[in-house]
Amino acid sequence: MATSPPDPSSAYPVVGMAADPAAAGGYWVVAANGGVFAFSAPFSGSAGGLSLNRPIVGIAATPDGRGYWLVASDGGIFSYGDAAFSGSAGGLSLNKPIVGMAATPDGRGYWLVASDGGIFSYGDAAFEGSAAYGSTPLARPIVGMAATPDGDGYWLVAADGGIFSYGDAAFAGSTGGMVLGRAVVGMAASTAGTGSGYWLAGGDGGVYAFGDAAFAGSVHVLALAGLVVALDPGHDGGNGGAPQVIDRPIDGGGFTEPCDTVGAATDAGYPEHAFNFDVATRAATLLEAEGADVVLTRSTDTGVGPCVDVRAAIGNDAHAAAAVSIHADGGPPGGRGFTVITPAPVVSPISDNTAIVAPSDVLGTDVRNAFAATTGEPTSTYDGTDGLIARGDLGGLTLSTVPKVLIECANMRNATDAALVSTAGWRQQAAQGIADGVTGFLVAEQQT
């Protein structure tokens, strides 16, 4: 009998789980790429090696535990072992994406559930009700479901662990009042056969057992698994030799600014573009170690640009969960310190960043706090207040559609700061501070 790998670690977030009806206490956990991890349960295959149209969002087991179905967010069904295909929502135009599924006791049908609580029944699965058109709006979206042992009821679970019961499904508890490492992503019914227990699975791999459901283990998922972070090392090493490119005016969102600039430098000649690139690549390594997919706006320090509007578009196109533009200032020699710039709301014929202003403020505060704690660098004595300032005249921020901030890590014209930025050890501290701030922001976002 095949089993899951000895080290149940995943580079993708956990999205669902299912109990093994043939092995008391056994269950499978599935990740977004279709990877399946078996705990005291047989492994029958996975979609981990497939190129999926949409991510996997749930799993359901056959009655004898010799197979299971995986469901994607578009309602597509993947069958393994003795799991039989009974239909899918893959060809439907859905109001909300599918987020989970549950199988009937005889394995001849299954339900799919959408994030609004809508239920889709296939085979011999009977409709017992839904949360899609309830009188009480959902506080958090539905993320999964599980059926009772006799198939005459089912539970729906929301992202905060809130439970909705239909048919003969009995309420046995929830995580609604708990602070979670990551939001709940799925559930499975207990195999005790009483219909009064279930497990909930968190996106961090944590498992929560209620009623007569027993805890048997969990998956370790890296803190930033499945999340994209965009890092923008400001300027570029070839900018100084290409004024015809970087001086070209671009629309920053209702105002005109240069495509890019050369950047600052210390009095000894250490250039800002080199500092920015070094810190960005160091921060990328740190964030990747936490599971993030890091996108850089430039891959070398010998090119030209890109323009600030393109830099914003790179983060937007990557659907980054957070973006940071990394700089060092060329301020007054008598001034010292760092500043985190957040976007002010700007609506223009080509942009509207109002939706990302609030989360960017939170990101900015998290980066400010972590950077100060890690580097010991004081907040700027000449710009902003307590290390923060909102601006609406920077295209990299006004054109962003993802939470984004710009950090001026130090003043290169100040003798004390110039000595720091020229030191590899301090650049590593700066990278750590940025990475810690981004990580703190994203972990908190995943808890809600």
* Strand partners for 347: 352
Transcribe 160-190 into DSSP letters.
Answer: T--EEEEETPPP---STTS--SS-EEEEEE-
For residue 193, the Cα-to-chain-centroid distance in whole angstroms is 36
The tokens for 62 are 């056959």
Name, in order, each residue with C-beta under 8 angstroms of 417's C-beta and a sequence gap of 6 or more. Answer: 328, 336, 337, 377, 410, 411
In contact, 174 and 162? CB cutoff 8 Å: yes
Largest CA distance in the chain: 77
Q: Which residues pair with 249 in a beta bridge?
A: 258
Within a 10 A sphere around the Cβ of 347, how many other Cβ atoms?
A: 11
Q: 272: left (phi > 0), else alpha (psi -120 to 50), else beta?
A: alpha
| Cβ contact 145:111 at 8 Å | yes
* Active site annotation includes 257: no
Q: Which amino acid is at 381?
A: T
Provide CB contacts within 8 A for 136, sequence distance 6+.
none
The DSSP string of 241-293 is: G-HHHHTSEEESSSSEEES-----B-TT--BHHHHHHHHHHHHHHHHHHTT-E
Tokens of 139: 């506080």
Q: Are 101 and 145 in contact (CB under 8 A)?
A: yes
* Torsion angle, alpha carbons of 192, 195, 199, 200, to 10: 170
- Output phi, psi for 134, to 5 deg: -70, 160
For residues 216 and 39, the answer to whether their CB atoms sit within 8 Å is: yes
From 257, 290, 377, 408, active-site residue: 408
Q: Which two tokens stand for residue 31?
A: 């990740």
The CA distance from 190 to 168, in Å, is 14
Consecutive H or E run containing 355: helix 354-375
β-strands 388-391, 339-343 pairing: parallel
Q: Which residues are catalytic?
A: 408
